[in-house]
Structure 1
Amino acid sequence: MGRARARLVPALLAVLLPAAAGCSMVGDASRSDTARAQVGDCIDVAEGSITASKTEPIDCAADRAVYTIVSASDTARNCGPEYSSYEETFRGGTTAFLCLAPNLKQGNCYRQDRQTGFAYADCTSPEATVRVVARIDGRSDQSLCAPNGTFLLLSRPETTFCLANPETEGH
């Protein structure tokens, strides 16, 4: 069996660039647990990398449940500018393609960068780059956040995330 490869497709969200990717040995029956996850399931990014991230499905209530799957298929497609994607390939063909929405929790901190997207981080850790000061489900409206503040908006499901630098928030 050959090695599976994962490809990262970053998404633009306000001023952030989240994305997730994965790598595993795949065939029809041996796709990774992440690749077998269903719409509505959540994903933990234990270790981010453009080609070999370590991800796994996790209970959506868990702090480490950083992404929610909003669509799943066996062919690559455009998820849209608000979402990140996860793709597993085997011998040049896509075997799993997931569109992912951030599932950030109010009060939690995350490590975020252009290549690996969001991963949970302790707010006292120097790795923490963003803290969620508010999460408003059912509305996608930047005016719900502080003027000149950083925000992340989703249209499906409608969600507003108001974000801050953990260092400037006293955490």
Structure 2
Amino acid sequence: MNFPGARLLARVVFALVAVAAVVVAMVGCSSSESSGNTADSAKVGGCLDGIKGATVDVQAGSVDCSSDKAVYKIAQTADKKGACSTDYTEAGVAGGSAFLCLVPNFKQGSCYSENPASGFKPVACGAAEATFRVVKRVDGEADELLCGQDADSFRLIAAAPKATYCLAKPKA
């Protein structure tokens, strides 16, 4: 037996359920993005302990800038790839569409390994993977002439924040 209007009622109920499902899905996606690793959670001037390939896990990687583990400092954030100065290491934020413009935060007297896939990592100066030692760090200036004879190479950051890193072979 068919009741008049039963099909209309079923359609209305189905439409309401579908709209509710779409709203729940949209709210769930936006809240997971905002609580995830976005450039909003990365503050310019903050430091990170490293990168993995071309991405950064901001939540997991944030460290105090005075820490020996703080290898990168956030100089800028960007909305698109390629917006960073050539002095910066550009890394996408894991789980988002933002990009961080990073500068080294090397400590004077410390040694680091450099890997094209994973960036810089602090290591013991006697370690086999050590590729350089920072013999002098000068903040606020980008000038290789500030390096003395004990340095055999240098790394300059001419964009803000300016810095000069005088480098040498790690001690065995």
**Shift in alpha-carbon separation, 1:29–1:127, aligned structure 2, 3 A:** same
**Counterpart-to-counterpart distance in 1, 2:108 and 2:98:** 30
Which of residues 67, 70, 81 in structure 2 aligns to 1:62?
Answer: 67
Bigger radius of gyration? 2
**Shift in alpha-carbon separation, 1:144–1:74, aligned structure 2, 3 A:** same
Say yes or no: does 1:98 pair with 2:97.
no
Q: Which residue of 1 aligns with 2:169?
A: 165
Which of residues 95, 114, 117 in structure 1 aligns to 2:116?
Answer: 114
Structure (1 or 2) with the greater helix fraction:
2
C-alpha deviation, 1:72, in angstroms: 1.4
Which of residues 73, 78, 83 in structure 2 aligns to 1:78?
Answer: 83
Question: Does 127-136 or 70-79 show the bigger shift?
Answer: 70-79
Which of residues 37, 50, 53 in structure 1 aligns to 2:53?
Answer: 50
Bigger RCO of structures 1 and 2 (CA < 8 A, at least 6 apart): 1
**Counterpart-to-counterpart distance in 2, 1:83 and 1:89:** 18
Residues 122 and 128 in structure 1, CA contact (< 8 A), matched pair in contact too:
yes
TM-score (norm 1): 0.70
Which of residues 141, 150, 154 in structure 1 aligns to 2:153?
Answer: 150
Percent sequence identity over aligned pairs: 37
AA matched with 2:166: C
Q: How many residues align?
A: 139
Aligned-pair RMSD on alpha carbons? 2.7
**Structure 1 spans left out of the alignment, 5+ residues:** 2-25
**Counterpart-to-counterpart distance in 1, 2:123 and 2:166:** 17
**Counterpart-to-counterpart distance in 2, 1:83 and 1:51:** 13
AA matched with 1:160: T
